[in-house]
Amino acid sequence: MVEKDWHELKEAFLLGVLFHDVGKIVQRAQEDPTRLTHQEWGYEWLLKHLPEQLKHRGLIAQIAKLHHAYSPKKTPFEKLENLSVFHETNKSNLTLLAYQSDNLSASERKPVSIEEQEYGAWQSDLALTSVFSKISLTHDKKKPKYNNCWRFLPGRVMSEIDMNYPVEDTKLDRNVYKQILTDFEYDLKLIGENLNINNALILYEKYCSYVPA
């Protein structure tokens, strides 16, 4: 592999790792968010919105789809012959590397008990929790952590003017995420074929800083 090809492949891998969870925004903007997993939502979105001229765009999309595990569901985009998505997957082990990296990055989180899972089930309208909610001088250690003492960050685009202060309770309907996603897509289209890891990182920070896992 010549140096130029390796540089383009490395850039695509880094973009794939950066965009691997973009489906979490896409999923929350849908009328039926659980119809697909966030990996599959991200996969479809990337194939639709990544610049056509971008090298190895299929690899970027596949990293989003495979970063947890391969899903047997077939999406409409897989039926398009001109995308050569599976060729991108088979040409390297980079999707496996992204998968293992994602596992390692999550390994620092301690296991969640069944009791805590009951309190912490995934909800599409739940806002990002402020980390300062965990600081308490009076908390009873015998009680689950999810005991209605949280503060939440309203869903919005990051701004250098207004601080996003946590509030006692906030629910975000899909229209909030739909607007964030629309603005994200607009900026991505403006960047076009000039997309690289640097401006993609700025985009991600701007639009994804207040999106929960």
- pTM confidence score: 0.72
Smallest Cα–Cα separation from 38: which of 19, 54, 22? 22
99-147: pLDDT as tens digits:
888 777 766 655 555 444 444 556 666 766 666 666 666 666 666 555 5
- pLDDT digits 0-9 by tens, 188-203: 999 999 999 999 999 9
